[in-house]
């Protein structure tokens, strides 16, 4: 089991539809489970309009996506001071509309899919990526392991 890392977590419900089933304590548990270093993270739930605007502005893709991770520069903290510790600083944005739609399409509960997206975003906040096949395989294996420890099934298992 991984050592528990220091975590400062802020949760924002700009879109509050999932606030009751995704309370802060549950989100904190999921983020904590994926941490390999101390972290300061903000999770923000948004609707499709805000999700599309963020994806368009920062990634040049004109559609809402399920999760966006905005890590701060590795050498600096959010206030601009030097990051002397190995600490992850990031904003993670989850789009409620896309999350609900994908959960239904993948025949998962919203909680199962949200756990996956939170873990996925938290790994991105720590520098993991899936640009090439090797990185994708490493990240997917880690997500599957973390989610398994949380009691969730393999998120990449294809439903027949």
- Name the maximum alpha-carbon separation found in the chain: 51
Q: Which class for 22: exposed (0-12), middle (13-18), buried (19 or more C-beta within 10 A)?
A: buried
State how far the Cα of 1 lies from the Cα of 160, in Å rounded to an integer.
Answer: 32
- Alpha helices (runs of H) in 15-157, residue ranges in sequence order: 24-34, 48-59, 96-105, 110-125, 133-149
CATH code for the domain defined by 7-149: 3.40.390.30
- Provide the pLDDT confidence category of residue 81 given band limits of 50, 70 and 90: low
Residue 99 has phi, psi (to 5 degrees) of -55, -50
pLDDT at residue number 85: 59
Best CA proximity match to 71, nearest among 29, 41, 115, 32: 41
Residues 18-55 have pLDDT tens digits of: 999 999 999 999 999 999 999 999 999 999 999 999 99
Q: pTM of this prediction? A: 0.90
pLDDT category of residue 146 using cuts at 50, 70 and 90: very high
Residue 82: band (very low, low, confident or very high) from pLDDT cuts 50, 70, 90: low
Say how far residue 99 (Cα) sits from the centre of its chain.
Answer: 12
**Residue 57 has what pLDDT?**
96
Q: What is the CA radius of gyration of the chain?
A: 15
Q: What is the pLDDT of residue 80?
A: 59
């Amino acid at each position: 089991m991984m050592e528990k890392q220091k975590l400062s977590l802020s949760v924002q419900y700009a879109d509050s539809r999932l606030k009751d089933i995704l309370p802060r304590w549950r989100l904190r548990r999921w983020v904590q489970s994926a941490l390999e270093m101390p972290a300061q993270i903000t999770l923000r739930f948004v609707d499709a309009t805000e999700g599309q605007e963020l994806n368009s502005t920062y990634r040049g893709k004109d559609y809402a996506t399920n999760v966006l991770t905005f890590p701060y520069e590795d050498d600096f903290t959010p206030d601009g001071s030097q990051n002397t510790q190995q600490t992850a600083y990031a904003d993670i944005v989850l789009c409620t509309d896309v999350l609900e739609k994908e959960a239904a399409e993948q025949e998962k509960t919203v909680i199962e899919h949200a756990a996956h997206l939170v873990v996925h975003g938290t790994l991105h906040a720590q520098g993991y990526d899936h640009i090439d096949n090797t990185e994708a395989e490493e990240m997917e294996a880690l997500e599957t392991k973390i989610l398994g420890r949380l009691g969730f099934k393999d998120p990449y298992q294809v439903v027949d």
